[in-house]
Amino acid sequence: ALELTYLDSEYNEIETEEQRINTSNGKALYSANPPEDAVALMIEGYAEGDWDGLTLLASYSPSGNFIHVEQVSDGIPAVGETIQFKVNSTGRVSNFYYEIVSRDKLVYSDYTRSSTITFRTTPMMAPSARLLVYQILPNSEVAADYIPFEVSPVYPHEVTAEFSQDEAEPGDEIEIDIQAEGESRVGIAAVDRSVYILAENRLNLQQVFNKLEELYMQPQVELHEVSIYPSITTRGAMDVFEDAGVVVLSNNDVPGGKEYEAAGKGGFWGDGLWRG
């Protein structure tokens, strides 16, 4: 059985629905139509004495327009293969602009008039990347969504190196046999192992964390701004851009999230659900 409870901005339960659903291999698809003033949806599932719950928070848009991106192609593509995404939009806008971010860099940018986005993966997108899609509404508001995806890396050049001997005395000649595919420029760097002795007097990463723990994990007084009232924070287009790793400079309206605080309302969040 499935029980859905909708909360408004005052943490009032505005609608509850129950539904018995049939599953296939433990999965089922269920569609719900939340009320317009709902800001949170609590989902509780019951099956043969077991229980689990999940809370979904609404996104925020001043005009009530959103987009959602999902991957529709199967599996994880290798470099050079195509990947396909579907964009669902509540607004009637013809253009979807999209950016692909990988390794903290913008590696591809384009736009489409179709709700389907298809492109060929590149080595710069491996092993993982993020697809950011946004649209500019007639009221100059921006709606956005992003989705991470994976790409199996394929190295276009394989390079191997073999030495004529495993150990050598100072002054001995050593031959290096390097094999590469096609025309290649191969760089060789030699490091005297004695320089590693210097590293003994340097802090490694673990030592840095240990020192930070000594400095900041000791009992001490700190002041944090807190509220005794529960709150719900919905997410806007600006949060989507930030999560995708993109900085926005625009004169369009890129709304941030909105926080709803129920002052004087008793209750708490437990097991991911609101307990009033």
pLDDT at position 80 over 80: yes
pLDDT at position 180 over 80: yes
> What is the widest separation between alpha-carbon atoms in the chain?
84
Beta strands 273-275 and 268-270 are antiparallel
Do residues 58 and 40 touch, judged by C-beta distance below 8 A? Answer: yes
Residue of 1, 61, 114 lying closest to 239 (CA atoms): 61
User: Per residue in 213-234, pLDDT tens?
Assistant: 666 555 555 555 544 445 778 8
Do residues 137 and 63 touch, judged by C-beta distance below 8 A? Answer: yes
Do residues 127 and 121 touch, judged by C-beta distance below 8 A? Answer: no
Give the span between the Cα atoms of 210 and 199, in whole angstroms: 17
Q: Within 10 A of 253 (CB to CB), how many other CB atoms are there?
A: 17
The whole model's pTM is what? 0.65
User: Per residue in 8-24, pLDDT tens?
Assistant: 888 788 999 998 888 88
Structure tokens at 97: 């602009």
Residue 206, Ramachandran bin (φ over 0: left; ψ between -120 and 50: alpha; else beta) = alpha
Q: Across the beta sheet with 105-112, what order do the strands follow?
A: 105-112, 96-102, 128-136, 142-150
Nearest 5°: CA angle at 145, between 137 and 237? Answer: 60
Structure tokens at 194: 């004695």
Residue 72, Ramachandran bin (φ over 0: left; ψ between -120 and 50: alpha; else beta) = alpha
Q: Within 10 A of 131 (CB to CB), how many other CB atoms are there?
A: 24
Give the span between the Cα atoms of 50 and 40, in whole angstroms: 23
For position 196, what pLDDT does the model report?
A: 64
